[in-house]
Amino acid sequence: MSATAPRRKTTRRMNFSMIDTKEQRQAALSHARSMVGVKFRHRGRQPWAVDCWGLVVLSCAAAGLQVGDKKYYGREPWKDGLREHLQECFGNPIPEEQWQPGDVAMFKAKNRGPCHVGFLADYRYGGFSLVHSHAQHNVVEHVLDKRWRHLLVEVYSPWDH
């Protein structure tokens, strides 16, 4: 018998010229919102347990976009790894005047560097809300208030690069 190398798992990318990015944004947000109440689990990638990056990965996949999934990371940020990974996946951050529902926001923790992500969404009373998986609250949606705006570092668009 001859030894063969194991087959590498490949990711198929969709032909995005055939898909309206507005529809993709809405599909990703609908999926993220459908997960409100789901349990937080560090490195979770299941419909019943996700972390903040897992919510982005699963919601983008539901909208037809496969993003680079980095599964091996600690709870604490290491150097600038999260920012580097977001730029690797989505390109450069976008200016505030270009933010739209469905964009991915990166947050810092109090007295620490960037360590958290979530989706910007349309808040029913105007402005933005945030859909994210949080260790203390599971998957939630709430207004992007003054406290969260202060922690917001950068915003990336998965849809326009």
| Per-residue pLDDT reduced to its tens digit, 17-32 | 445 789 999 999 999 9
The whole-number average pLDDT for the span 75-93 is 87
Give me the count of residues in the chain.
161
Alpha carbons 90 and 50: distance in angstroms, whole number: 21
In the structure, what pLDDT confidence band is assigned to residue 4 with cuts at 50, 70 and 90?
very low
Over the chain, what is the mean pLDDT?
A: 86
Per the CB < 8 A criterion, the answer to whether 144 and 127 are in contact is yes
Tell which wins on pLDDT, 66 or 75. 66
In the structure, what pLDDT confidence band is assigned to residue 91 with cuts at 50, 70 and 90?
very high
Domains and CATH numbers, the chain: 21-69+85-156 (3.90.1720.10)
Tell which wins on pLDDT, 120 or 137. 120
Model confidence pLDDT, tens digit, residues 6-61:
333 333 334 444 457 899 999 999 999 999 999 999 999 999 999 999 999 999 99
Contact partners, residue 143, CB within 8 Å, separation at least 6 = 123, 125, 127, 128, 129, 130
Q: Is the pLDDT of residue 156 over 50?
A: yes
Q: Judge residue 134's burial from the number of C-beta atoms within 10 Å of its C-beta, 0-12 exposed, 13-18 middle, 19 or more buried.
A: middle
